[in-house]
Amino acid sequence: MISVRGFGLLFLATVFVVREAGCNLRQNSKKSVPNHVGAVTALYELSKTKLGHAPSDEKEFKKAMQTVSVKPQNFKVDSFDELLISERDGQPLTVVYGPAAANSNFIVSEQTGVNGKRMVGLRTGIVEEMDDAQYKALTALKR
């Protein structure tokens, strides 16, 4: 049985995934959120709800992603492997696996980003563009 908090997170993650899958975001807008970081952030939370815990590694995450009702093609990619690559810097996304540190909200980020800023997905479902100082402060909190 799913808890009220778990249901709420599942609902928010589902809304985000459906919105991301159905929208064509304008890449030239400063407010646009890259599909891959946002999608992986939402899929991480959906997977966490399905598993009953945070995915322990990439293999478990990919297996859990296969069980959600959203397909990679909804994000205009052919596979979940492709979704785990940033469309902005072309590098694999950094994903934090396992139990979250009590003081960290960090789930996923670009390795390099663009123009000194990288997209970062948080456990709250928010995706933000951060400069190096903000990113270092955030990631210093993890584990």
Question: Average pLDDT of the chain?
Answer: 80
As a whole number of angstroms, the distance between CA 33 and CA 118 comes to: 11
Confidence check: pLDDT of 23 > 80? no
Residue 143: the pLDDT is: 47
Which is higher by pLDDT, 92 or 28? 92
- Give buried/exposed letters for 91-112 (b at 16+ CB in 10 A, else e): eebbbbeeebeeebebbbbbee
Confidence check: pLDDT of 133 > 70? yes
For residue 96, what are the domain limits? Answer: 4-140
Residue 107 φ then ψ, to 5° = -120, -55
Per residue in 50-98, pLDDT (tens digit) is: 999 999 999 999 999 998 888 888 888 999 999 999 999 999 999 999 9
Per the structure, how many domains does the chain have? 1
CB contact at 8 A, 96 and 107? yes
